[in-house]
Amino acid sequence: MATIKTQSSDRRVRRTRAALARALIRLVAERDLARISVSDVAELAEVSRSSFYDHYRDVHELAEDACTTMIDGLIESVPKPTPGADDLAQEATESLTAFFASLTEHAGLYRALLGAQGSARVLDHIRGRIVEATRDRLVAGVDGRLPERVPHDVTAAFTAGALIGVAVDWLQRGCPRPPAEMAEVTWPLLHALYRING
């Protein structure tokens, strides 16, 4: 009996959190995150303010949770690296396009959380997920041209830093290039990392 109540409670928590995240994403598309109140989010999500506070301290914490959840979903949707893949460029460009498209879709939220007054938690989370995904690709030996003296963790961290730097600059300038173009111009820069001769 306790298990059924727990499962029902878990589903209710997930539903409420999802409704709050959807409401915030709609609101942040219309105005700056700093101008969105708990009442705004609760009203649009059709929950009470007390229900909001059962889950989050404030709008900023909700924004962090929504952002990290979206990044997790994006990273998990990217296909795992294929050892010996013939078309690394196409695979990488498709992954980068999906990354930039996700940022574009929720640009207001990402801009607020990755800008000068942003969230260290979100930035660290994104960096960590990119490091993890990059390390997977290196370990799988998709390209395998890095010299042994360059550790995978250093290369993965360097790649994550470069990609985040490009993404933040692009967001702050209002996403002037479409995601596919950003992928096309970013991939050669990242790929240069794997063309180092020992």
CATH 1.10.357.10 domain position(s) in the chain: 60-195
**Domain 60-195 classification at class level:** mainly alpha
Q: Quick one: which of 126, 119, 85, 133 has its CA closest to 102?
A: 126
pTM to 2 decimals? Answer: 0.76
Q: Over the stretch 125-144, which tens digit does the pLDDT of each residue have?
A: 988 988 887 776 665 554 45
Q: Report the CATH number of the 2-56 domain.
A: 1.10.10.60
The whole-angstrom separation of Cα 191 and Cα 198 is 16
Is residue 72's pLDDT more than 90? no
The residue assigned the tokens 């995150």 is 33
| Confidence class for position 150, pLDDT limits 50, 70, 90 | low
Please give the Cα distance from 167 to 164 (Å, whole number). 5
**How many Cβ atoms from other residues are within 10 Å of residue 104's Cβ?**
16
